[in-house]
Amino acid sequence: MELIKKIKQAEQQAQEIIEQAKAQAATQAEEGRQHRRRLLEKAEQQRKKAAEAAVAEAQSQGRAEVSNLKAQAQEQHQEMRDKARSKMATATARVMDYLRG
């Protein structure tokens, strides 16, 4: 009789140990999932931050290039005006000489 009680008690303890192990495994699995979820969220935030930084850098470079191109265009435009003025003065002088002539 005593042996049967001890066997049943041992079976009950074994069952409790199994249930505790299952509960711990489930808890650890959930903690692992949450940890992975947090890591993924952090990685996504870092990716977004890197993308935003790249966009900002590209915009900055684009604005600098536009400014540079505008300056070059103004310089070329001024050079063309200066050349046209000098040629116009020469052409006007030739026309006047021809008409006087």
Residue 47 inside a domain? The answer is yes
Q: Is residue 90 part of a domain?
A: no
pTM flag (> 0.75):
no
Residue 63 confidence (pLDDT): 96
State which residues form the domain around 30. Answer: 1-73
Match 């000098």 to its residue by tokens. 86
Residue 101 has pLDDT above 90, yes or no: no
Burial 9-48 (b: 16+ CB within 10 A, else e): eeeeeeeeeeeeeeeeeeeeeeeeeeeeeeeeeeeeeeee
Establish if 26 belongs to a structural domain. yes
Is 9 within the bounds of a domain? yes
Structure-token match 């952090």, residue found:
42
* pLDDT one-digit tens code per residue, 8-23: 899 999 999 999 999 9
pLDDT digits (tens, 9 = 90+) for 50-82: 999 999 999 999 999 999 999 999 999 999 999
Identify the pLDDT of residue 18. Answer: 95
Residue 94 lies in a domain: no
